[in-house]
Amino acid sequence: MREGEDGWEDLPRATALLEHHIGRAEAKQRHFAEALARLNDALARFRRLPGGGDAYNEGRVYMSLGDVHLEAGDTDLALVCLDKAVMAMETAGAGLQLADAFESRARCHRLSGRPAQAAEDLRAAALRYEENGDRIGAERLRVELAESEA
């Protein structure tokens, strides 16, 4: 593809999306260093997009980074990334993805021995699922909350 051709302006976003998906695939194979490199590259690419970046996809990448750090056993870095994912999804107004970010952050809190914060994030996630029409997700988290509080 050459500059000026139809679709040329979509190439930076497409490349960032590709890096994100390759990073996620690397993480599934437990190639954490490679996954983190790809995901950080995707994040930088989304930030450089015209118009001030892409908050929604930055949030998605932060969620992926948080998941990789959790899988690698680094709950501190995971929490930093998941906090940023929550902020990005709030900024983007992405209700279901915000619920997903709260749910991932709850997992991080639970693994870090912070049950009160985990429960708070599960409640926030359940509310966002409900508000956005995902009654199954909301009910699943309410059951999880009830089991954890029993």
CATH of the domain at 52: 1.25.40.10
pLDDT digits (tens, 9 = 90+) for 65-120: 999 999 999 999 999 999 999 999 999 999 999 999 999 999 999 999 999 999 99
Residue 1 lies in a domain: no
What pLDDT sits at residue 74?
A: 96
In our burial notation (b when 16+ CB lie closer than 10 A, e otherwise), range 120-130 reads ebbebbbbbbb
Residue 3 lies in a domain: no
Residue 4 lies in a domain: no
Range of the domain at 102: 10-149
Number of domains in the chain: 1
Residue 86 lies in a domain: yes
Q: What is the pTM of this model?
A: 0.89
Q: How confident is the model at residue 4 (pLDDT cuts 50, 70, 90)?
A: low
Residue 93 has phi, psi (to 5 degrees) of 70, 30
Residue 49 lies in a domain: yes
- Whether the pLDDT of residue 135 is over 70: the answer is yes
Q: How many residues does the chain have?
A: 150
- Whether the pLDDT of residue 121 is over 90: the answer is yes
